[in-house]
Amino acid sequence: MPRLDNEPDLEHPRMFDSSRELLYIQISDRYGLIRGPRMASDIITLAHGAGGSVMQSLIKQYVLKHLGGANVEVPLAALDDAAVVDGIVFKSDSYTVKPIFFPGGDIGRLAICGTVNDICMIGGEPLALAEGFILEEGLSLSDFDRILLSMRKTCDEAGVPIVTGDTKVMERGALEKIVINSSGIGKRNASLDHDLSEVRQYRNCDSQWLLDSNVRKGDKIILSGTIGDHGISVLSAREGYGFETRIESDAAPLNHLTNDMLRVGGIVAMKDPTRGGLANLLNEWSEKSHVGILLREQNIPIKEGVRSACEMLGLDVMEIGNEGKVVAAVVPEKVEDVLAVMRRCSVGKEAMIIGEATSEFYVVAMETVVGGRRIIPPPAGDPVPRIC
Strand pairing partners for 132? Answer: 166, 181
Which is it for strands 373-375 and 364-367: parallel, antiparallel or unpaired? antiparallel
Stretch near Mg ion under the rule CB under 5 A, chosen from 22-30, 43-51, 81-89, 225-233: 81-89
Q: Which is nearer to Mg ion, 34 or 327 (CB)?
A: 327
Q: Which is nearer to Mg ion, 109 or 177 (CB)?
A: 109
81 binds Mg ion (CB under 5 A): yes
Stretch near Mg ion under the rule CB under 5 A, chosen from 27-35, 74-82, 246-254, 322-330: 74-82
Phi/psi-derived region of residue 345, left when phi > 0, alpha when psi is between -120 and 50, beta in every other case: beta
Q: Minimal distance in Å, beta carbon 249 to Mg ion?
A: 16
Q: Minimal distance in Å, beta carbon 252 to Mg ion?
A: 14
DSSP state of 17: -
Cα–Cα dist 367/280, whole Å: 18
Stretch near Mg ion under the rule CB under 5 A, chosen from 73-81, 143-151, 186-194, 237-245: 73-81
93 binds Mg ion (CB under 5 A): no
Give the contacts of 35 (CB within 8 A, at least 6 positions apart). none
Q: Minimal distance in Å, beta carbon 371 to Mg ion?
A: 33
φ, ψ dihedrals at 162, nearest 5°:
-90, 125
Q: Minimal distance in Å, beta carbon 39 to Mg ion?
A: 25
Q: Could you say which of 106, 198, 212, 272 contacts Mg ion (CB under 5 A)?
A: 272
323 binds Mg ion (CB under 5 A): no
Q: Which is nearer to Mg ion, 100 or 254 (CB)?
A: 254
Task: State the DSSP string of 124-162.
Answer: EEEEEEEEEEEEETT--HHHHHHHHHHHHHHHHHHT--E
Cα–Cα dist 139/172, whole Å: 9
Q: Minimal distance in Å, beta carbon 141 to Mg ion?
A: 32
Q: How many residues bind Mg ion (CB under 5 A)?
A: 3
Q: Which is nearer to Mg ion, 81 or 250 (CB)?
A: 81
Cα–Cα dist 99/174, whole Å: 16
CB 209 within 8 Å of CB 262: no
118 binds Mg ion (CB under 5 A): yes
Stretch near Mg ion under the rule CB under 5 A, chosen from 27-35, 204-212, 252-260, 265-273: 265-273
Q: Minimal distance in Å, beta carbon 158 to Mg ion?
A: 15
Helices marked H in 203-334 — which ranges? 229-239, 255-264, 277-289, 304-313
Residues forming contacts to Mg ion in the complex (CB under 5 A) are: 81, 118, 272
